[in-house]
Structure 1
Amino acid sequence: MMRLWLSSADLTRIRFADRLHPAGTVLLASQALRQPSVAAALPALARRVATGAPALRPLHHLMPAQGMAPDFLTPWEGVASIEDGLAAIRSTPAGRVRADVTAAYAHTKVSAARRRFAAADPLVLDTLVTAMGAYFRQVLAPDWAELTRAHRQAVGEAASRYALSGADGVLAGLHQGIRWRAPMLEVDTWQAGEVRLGGHGLILVPSPFAGPRPRVLVAPDRPALVVYPVEPPAVPAGRRTASDPLAGLFGRTRSAVLIHATRPGRHTTSTIARQVGISVSSSSEHLSALRAAGLVSSHRDGGAIVHGATALGRDLVNPDEDRPG
């Protein structure tokens, strides 16, 4: 458990990352796409990982499959491009490499390459950086625009919550592994400790690649970085929103919820969550918004709430379908 103490100055300096960090996203994705649930939600990316295996093997071997990763592989610099991020990683002092890798390898099986990496062998670091570049180009680059749009949508939804409920509402609703007990933010992450942010603030990063638990990166005289899990895009990456016109109006996730509500069968909040690949709480939120707009109706059936699209909702999803009267 990591406990972050926020002063009044920190609360005025809470912000969201305005863009994805290419090198940092490579690191997260290289772990996340080894998890069956994430691979199933993003099959196009998972297929690219499988087909590019030889070039990506050093990254997968040197990085633990989940849990802590060396902090220096998510540099504060290098946000503009993958090349800038990899250059920042290459310039990391050897002492920092040794400290970060040793901490990340606490529960990882020893191998010759991992031992050399923990000793800051420059050849091993170069091999890793080369594999990270290949990972970005082969796996992420084809859908980088889609992933960027999903990031902006998640930030936009958080901004809407901030407008309605302020910083308290945003911090309290980030993720089930993050608890806001003013003035302390408890993060159920891979590290343990307590940090006073000292007025430097907090940067929040929603990511479908964060993993099962949020991640925290703390550096002296920097804002704390908290990466927290969000649902993968409802439309598989690489698919244009033009194929789903409603996505441009509602956003991909809400559009997918409405589409599933029009299909035959008994749809509860939980079943729609599973079908779309989102949490039950997120499913409930989207269904409430669609119900308020008159696109979904809901009724209690036994111990569950059952949802279905209204005539208006069905017409939006299938405008050319003939219906009686």
Structure 2
Amino acid sequence: MLRLRLEYADLARVRFTDRLHPASTVLLASQALRRPPVAAALPVLARRVTSSGAALRPLHHLIPEQGPAPDFVTPWDGAASIEDGLAVIRSTPAREVRAQVSAAYAHTPASAARRRFADADAGVLDTLVTAMRAYFHQVLAPDWAALTRTHRQVVGEAAARYAATGAEGLFAGLHPGIRWCSPVLEVDAWPAGDVRLGGHGLFLLPSPFAGPRPRVLIREGRPALVVYPVEPPAGWGGGAAADRLAGLLGRTRSAVLAHVAGPGRHTTSSVAGHAGISVSSSSEHLSVLRAAGLVSSRRDGGATVHRATPLGRTLAGGE
């Protein structure tokens, strides 16, 4: 059990992450979907993993199936897009890579690639980043907008509970593996220990890929991050229509089309955030969809607003 001691300053800084981190979600999903119960609950995502085959193999080989992973593959920064997150991972100092990988591999069988990874070999790190990019685009991108909506829904419900019952009610409703015994937050997570947060606060992240019990990430000078499991909503996880559209347009472009086919005001930057890509990539995908007659765009003040055409909505399954 991990015991997090919260001072008044920490309680004043209890927050939820405002968005999902694409690169960190890849790491969580890559471990979660190797567990039979999760794969059974999310069969479409599991099939995408299987069909992607060799492209994802380096990620599965280098990152343990369960237990702690190297901290640097779940970065704090780079949440705007998958490329931003991968750039942060790739820029990790070699000494940190060596220390964290060696710790994560304490009970993992050795292999040539794992030895090179533990020695901070640049080529192996590039291979890992390439596999994480493929995982995002081939497995998660078609449902990234749905993941984002689920995150906001769960956070909204927790925020309402916090407003009605305070911190005690908030913590009590997160997960059975999280218990508030003022001034200590007990978390059934590894490694066991007793940690003072030192006034930096606490971030909470609900995730259907967290695992069977919560995870805690603690870094000096940063808020603690508690990732806790939530059930995937009924019917979530994509379907045959989503995969057929991905086969036609590519997974990321189909995710962009599916998003602008939904309700709401969709700007180039908001589409980028929902799809987990950069603004420039969002603009490129929208331009291609517009040229194909699937999206229409108009200027609205300082932004360009996009919506799917009737043909685009039909293709995305909206009609």
Same fold (TM over 0.5): yes
Partner deviation per Cα, 1:63-121 (whole Å, 9 max, x = no partner): 11111100001111100000000000000000100111111111111111111111111
Q: How far apart are the structure 1 equivalents of 2:112 and 2:177?
A: 35
Percent identity over the alignment?
Answer: 74
What's the CA shift for 1:238?
A: 2.6
Q: TM-score, normalised by structure 2?
A: 0.74
Aligned to 1:77: 77
Matched ranges for 1:55-70 at <5 A: 55-70=55-70
Does the 8 Å contact 1:43/1:236 carry over to 2?
no
- Indicate yes or no: 2:28 matched with 1:28: yes
Aligned to 1:116: 116
Q: How many residues align?
A: 241
What's the CA shift for 1:60?
A: 0.3
What's the CA shift for 1:172?
A: 2.0
Q: How far apart are the structure 1 equivalents of 2:63 and 2:233?
A: 25
Q: How far apart are the structure 2 equivalents of 1:71 and 1:233?
A: 28
Q: How far apart are the structure 1 equivalents of 2:182 and 2:172?
A: 10
Aligned to 1:281: none
**RMSD of aligned residue pairs (Cα, Å):** 1.3
Q: How far apart are the structure 1 equivalents of 2:139 and 2:148?
A: 14
- Indicate yes or no: 2:204 matched with 1:214: no
Q: How far apart are the structure 2 equivalents of 1:233 and 1:3?
A: 30
What's the CA shift for 1:188?
A: 1.1
Does the 8 Å contact 2:69/2:104 carry over to 1?
yes
What's the CA shift for 1:144?
A: 0.2
Does the 8 Å contact 2:2/2:193 carry over to 1?
yes
Q: How far apart are the structure 2 equivalents of 1:151 and 1:207?
A: 8
Q: How far apart are the structure 2 equivalents of 1:57 and 1:238?
A: 22
Structure with higher Rg: it is 1
Matched ranges for 1:16-165 at <5 A: 16-165=16-165
| Aligned residue type for 1:107 | H
Q: TM-score, normalised by structure 1?
A: 0.72
Does the 8 Å contact 2:33/2:46 carry over to 1?
yes
| Aligned residue type for 1:25 | T
Does the 8 Å contact 1:175/1:228 carry over to 2?
yes
Q: How far apart are the structure 2 equivalents of 1:215 and 1:105?
A: 18
What's the CA shift for 1:36?
A: 1.1
Q: Which runs of 5+ in 1 are unaligned?
A: 241-247, 249-325
